[in-house]
Amino acid sequence: MTPLHPAPDRERLRAKALELGFVRVGVTPATEAETFGFLESWLDAGMHGDMGYMARHRQARKHPQSLLNGVRSVWMMAWDSSFGHHPGGGSADTKQGRIGRYAWGMDYHVALKDQLKLLASWCQEQWPKMRTRGVVDTAPLLERDFARRAGLGWVGKNTLLIDPQKGSHLLLAGFLTSEEFEEDKPFTADHCGSCTACLDACPTGALVGPRLLDARRCISYLTIETKGPLPADDSVRQLMGNWLLGCDICQDVCPWNKKASRISLSSPDLPQPALQKPILQSVDPLWLLKASSNEIQELLEGRAWDRAGESGLRRNAVFVLVHLVKQAKSRDPDGEWACQVEKALEVCLENSDCAVSEAAQWGIKQLRSLGGLVKA
């Protein structure tokens, strides 16, 4: 006799998740996070910077029980955020501010949550007694910990999960269930070996050791998480390059990313949520200084850029422009474009946002110190 409510089928759930666009899917028991002790040490050292929510919710990260009462299994799923293989994501020789690859398309929080809701609805139809909860990185779950245990890959020296075929340009999502599933084999190998490419390439020295990130010096943290004026450390400001939002340097240099398989932007297999916003790899920083608030809000809409907001984007644009003007000095001896930049910065001195006006004041001082490139 066929049971009225069949037991949850691991392979059917996995197949459904893959159908919804996730490229890697694995399951592990819902037990305490193995790296919770490391998290506590990292927080106690202050390496989380201004991300106070990390400290406030530290205990919630100890066990997925905090997210779903009675949880028995944690499914971990990976979403390919590479958008095809475009090494570098834009030339450093342009007059553009680069965007971290994860933010080229629509807001991944929305895209992943939508797919997780579809998966939850499907599970409810198949197995009505099973309770589920889908989460992305806004929830207190140590995703990389559970992803490794679910067999998705290993944590590289750049602190990111690396899959042998897909590399590290992956966004992780968790799907918690009240039912127990046979676990996947944990990923126990470390394929970084003696390679230190990511540590050597980080311009600000944020990777203070293998798998140890001091967020306070990380370009992604500085351009996204830091509110108000950036730290007045000239060495950090000048090393940010033309990164307007996020940073991919430690991933771009990783050998595993250089040989990773990618889904082409023209592929019919590319999940449609990835295409709900035009792909933007870079933005003109001079335009950001001149644009109206409405124009910037239109740019932000539906993208994972709200974390930085208008204030952060304008502030970051100043640092990008200073970097680009310094690079352009040998190619633009008359300094015409640099003069446009300086004029835009002078207007920003009157900006009511202290983060923007302080950056503009610093930027003008930097440009005038070049001598001959811009007006004194």
Catalytic residue annotation: 137
Other CB atoms within a 10 A radius of the CB of residue 336 amount to 9
How far apart CA 340 and CA 344 sit, in angstroms, is 6
Annotate the chain with three-state secondary structure. CCCCCCCCCHHHHHHHHHHCCCCEEEEEECCCCCCHHHHHHHHHCCCCCCCHHHHHCCHHHHCHHHCCCCCCEEEEEEEECCCCCCHHHCCCCCCCEEECHHHCCCCHHHHHHHHHHHHHHHHHHHCCCCCEEEECCCCCCCHHHHHHHCCCCEECCCCCEEECCCECCEEEEEEEECCCCCCCCCCCCCCCCCCCHHHHHCCCCCEEECCEECHHHCHHHHHHHCCCCCCCCHHHHHHCCCEEECCCHHHHCCHHHHCCCCCCCCCCCCCHHHHCCCCCCEECHHHHHHCCHHHHHHHHCCCCCCCCHHHHHHHHHHHHHHHHHHHHCCCCCCCHHHHHHHHHHHHHCCCCCHHHHHHHHHHHHHHHCCCCCCCC
**Are the C-beta atoms of 256 and 164 separated by less than 8 Å?**
yes
Record the tokens describing residue 94, joined without a space.
């342009």
CB-CB contact of 329 with 370 (8 Å):
yes
* Longest distance between any two alpha carbons in the chain, whole Å: 89
111, 139 in Cβ contact below 8 A? no
